[in-house]
Amino acid sequence: MEFVILNTGAKMPIEGFGVFQVPDAAVCEQAVYDAIKTGYRLIDTAQAYMNEEAVGKAVNRAIADGIAKREELFITTKVWVSNMKTEDTAYESVKTSFAKLGLDYVDLILLHQPMGDYFAAYRGITKAYKEGIVKAIGVSNFYPAILANLCENVEIMPAVNQVELHPFFTQDSAITLMKEYGIAPQAWGPLAEGRHGIFTHPVLTEIGAKYGKTAAQIALKWNAQRGVSILPKSVHVERMEQNFNIWDFTLSDEDIQKITALDLGHSEIVDHSDPAFVKMINGFKI
């Protein structure tokens, strides 16, 4: 496993395990426990995923069973938009997340979307950071202009910006901007949520054949090799293992270029510039 050094000085595993769209508590708890057993040390949840309790149970069970120590684990959660009304609502939601997770601290808390009153909410998570109950703060889905405006106006720079990043949406200039501000880029949907036939894509499959790897492993390694943290999600143990087994090969420059050339230049999953999407997100209350 490789690590990303955050602007706080903390070490974040470059590969983590995501639990979006795992609403069933028993399935989520088992998946997180299996992921930690497989070797994942970063778990990415969110208030909006409605599974913080299940994640916490799995994490605490894995610690009790001696599979990993708390200090080896890196737990991320995210403040949802309906809690991003004021500094206090954001701060109080962090406390609620702790209670649900059954943890004394989290390693990273992100504002899930650049919506609601995100400056007030950022002050709320900054307060939690200054109290030491949150080890790092950051944002998610902050596209370049919004990220630049945030960074130009806050006291503490975000440590991470988690955005959609995969071979079909490479966002090279967004990553350049993040690096300019010392922010670690983190990929959600590193497997494009299964779109574009990614698992059987001819370019990824052909490159994979050279290294004895699957298309999924090639897509994940491509991001990791450009310094992007990845959070593949799977509720199947064999896929968790496959997605984790990417640390014994290096893509050639030529192969990296072929993968980067798959970029479509836009997302086909969400459109943050679409008012209908913004309204839908604001309407989702937790």
- Please give the residue ranges that form the binding site for ligand NAP (CB under 6 A): 18-20, 44, 112, 140-141, 162, 188-194, 199, 216, 231-236, 239, 242-243
Q: Name the minimum Å distance from CB 66 to ligand NAP.
A: 26
Enzyme catalytic residues: 49
* Residue 262: C-alpha distances to residues 141, 168, 221, 252 (Å): 21, 5, 15, 16
Q: Which residue, 19 or 251, is less far from ligand NAP as judged by CB?
A: 19
Q: Name the minimum Å distance from CB 49 to ligand NAP.
A: 7
* Residue 6: C-alpha distances to residues 18, 40, 59, 80, 245 (Å): 19, 18, 22, 23, 24
Q: Name the minimum Å distance from CB 180 to ligand NAP.
A: 21
Q: Can you count the helices (H) and strands (E) in the chain? A: 11, 10
Q: Which two tokens stand for residue 214?
A: 């699957």
Q: Which residue, 11 or 239, is less far from ligand NAP as judged by CB?
A: 239
Q: Which residue, 199 or 277, is less far from ligand NAP as judged by CB?
A: 199
List the beta bridge partners of residue 13: 3
CA-CA distance, 37 to 241, in Å (whole number)? 10
Q: Which residue, 90 or 191, is less far from ligand NAP as judged by CB?
A: 191
The residue whose Cβ lies closest to ligand NAP is 18
Contact 116, 285 (CB under 8 A): no
Q: Name the minimum Å distance from CB 140 to ligand NAP.
A: 4
